[in-house]
Amino acid sequence: MKALVKRGPGEGIDYTDVPAPEPGRHDVLVRVLRTGICGTDLHILKGTPWATRTVTAPRVIGHEFVGEIVAAGAGVGGLLPGQLVSAEGHVTCDTCANCRAGRQHLCDVVQGLGVQRDGAFAEYVAVPARSVWVHRPGVPLDVAAMFDAFGNAVHVADTFPVRDRTVLVTGAGPIGAMAAAVARHRGACLVAVSDVSPFRLDLAHRAGADLVIDAGEGTVDPAALGLEQGFDIGFEMSGNPSALSDLIGAMAHGGRIAALGLPDEDVPTDWADISLRMLTIQGISGRRVFDTWYAMADLLDQGMDPSFVITDHFPAEDYEKAFATAAEGHAGKVILDWVPRD
């Protein structure tokens, strides 16, 4: 089969022929239809220090996907050929203390699809049945392909209650924009989004943000926005150290921050200020398994449409153009097609 493979340390990936996977007793084999390019995939392409120390190469990469089950192992029950599925990209062990206590999102020995085990940027992928999500009828393929990323946004937005609260989102990439849309859907009374990219600020507009703020023109000033105090809730989605500092400074006393962005450098932090204003900072990674997936499906059933973040589609063989588009900062979510569109 054709697949995108990381051969080893350094920059680059290859579109090449590899053996099709054989599903194990408790696995399903999925024919991949579409995949979404994620920031993790860009790190792997570039061969960043994180990718070099984390990816076990050679490795078929990719974790955002939708496809059809074509075969199931002998030990799999309840999953059938033809079902439209995605999978939780964090493959948990189900035996550590966190997994056994129902906190799989905190698994001690989690493996990443496309990182420590072969992923979905391929014509076929084998995944553990326990990681499979069966989509409800009517979910568009493009939306299903990015359920993993949508889940990041929903996990962040649902960390703290946002109804009737003011929310500031720093970073208006696809996940940040979707998190803003979820906060709006959940009943936040004010949603503000900051970024330095005009394209991404427009994406925030499409998300339904009440205010978009050009962070390149200075720090966020709650008083200038008509807030007597600061913001109640913050979502840090950018990974920019200055954005996190600005977000902390813009919070009201007792404010709560959900932080998904991963800074590449140290973030200077005034911990005395955080203590004195009694701020809460909650780190976020991935999705709650499978609570967040049910929340995503319910949001779609309620009429929320996250497809506004999808801006580009490419055939899988045009992966170089697709990755370049995703990296340049003038695109939202980029989708790779592994079978031709009708």
Encoding tokens for residue 308?
């506004």
Nearest-CA neighbor of 307 among 165, 150, 143? 143
List CB contacts of 246: < 8 A, sequence separation 6 or more. 170, 194, 215, 219, 220
Q: Which of 35, 40, 92, 166 is catalytic?
A: 40
Torsion of CA 174, 144, 335, 214, to 10 degrees: -10
Encoding tokens for residue 273?
């200020």
Q: Which of 35, 43, 166, 292 is catalytic?
A: 43
Phi and psi at residue 9, in whole multiples of 5°? Answer: -60, 160
- Cβ-contact 61, 41 below 8 angstroms: yes
Whole-angstrom Cα distance, residue 227 to residue 234? 14
- Cβ-contact 267, 243 below 8 angstroms: no
Residue with tokens 């140290």: 266
**Is 43 a catalytic site residue?**
yes
Whole-angstrom Cα distance, residue 225 to residue 46? 39
- Cβ-contact 217, 246 below 8 angstroms: no
Separation of CA 14 from chain center: 24
**Is 63 a catalytic site residue?**
no
Which active-site residues does the annotation give? 40, 43
